[in-house]
Amino acid sequence: MSREYYELGLPIIEKAGVADKIDFRQGPALPLLDELLQDVRAFIVTNVISLFFILFYKLRIQIYYDSLYWLLIKFTGT
């Protein structure tokens, strides 16, 4: 695929609302694939770390609410 064909289809891609999801790269396949794999690895590491912190925060909130729940049961007797 050449840049010319990509630009020809770009109006349709933009109309479909997916232009921000397409990363057009042109060049020799193997170096581009290596570059893409490095990008994917960096993306995965970054997002896994972010997901870990989000899950940890939610777990802390759940523990907090569970503790409050048991305190309410203990002191209200319900």
The range of the structural domain enclosing residue 68 comes to 3-76
**Euclidean distance between CA atoms 62 and 6, whole angstroms:** 49
Cα distance between residue 16 and residue 18, in whole Å: 6
Question: Tokens 């925060």 appear where?
Answer: 57
Residue 23: band (very low, low, confident or very high) from pLDDT cuts 50, 70, 90: confident
Q: b or e along 34-67 (b: 16 or more beta carbons within 10 Å of the residue's beta carbon)?
A: eeeeeeeeeeeeeeeeeeeeeeeeeeeeeeeeee
Q: What is the number of domains present in the chain?
A: 1
Per-residue model confidence (pLDDT) at position 15: 93
Q: What is the pLDDT of residue 34?
A: 83
pLDDT the model gives residue 20: 87
Give the residue, 18 or 68, on which the prediction is more confident. Answer: 18
| 44 close to 21: Cβ distance less than 8 angstroms | no
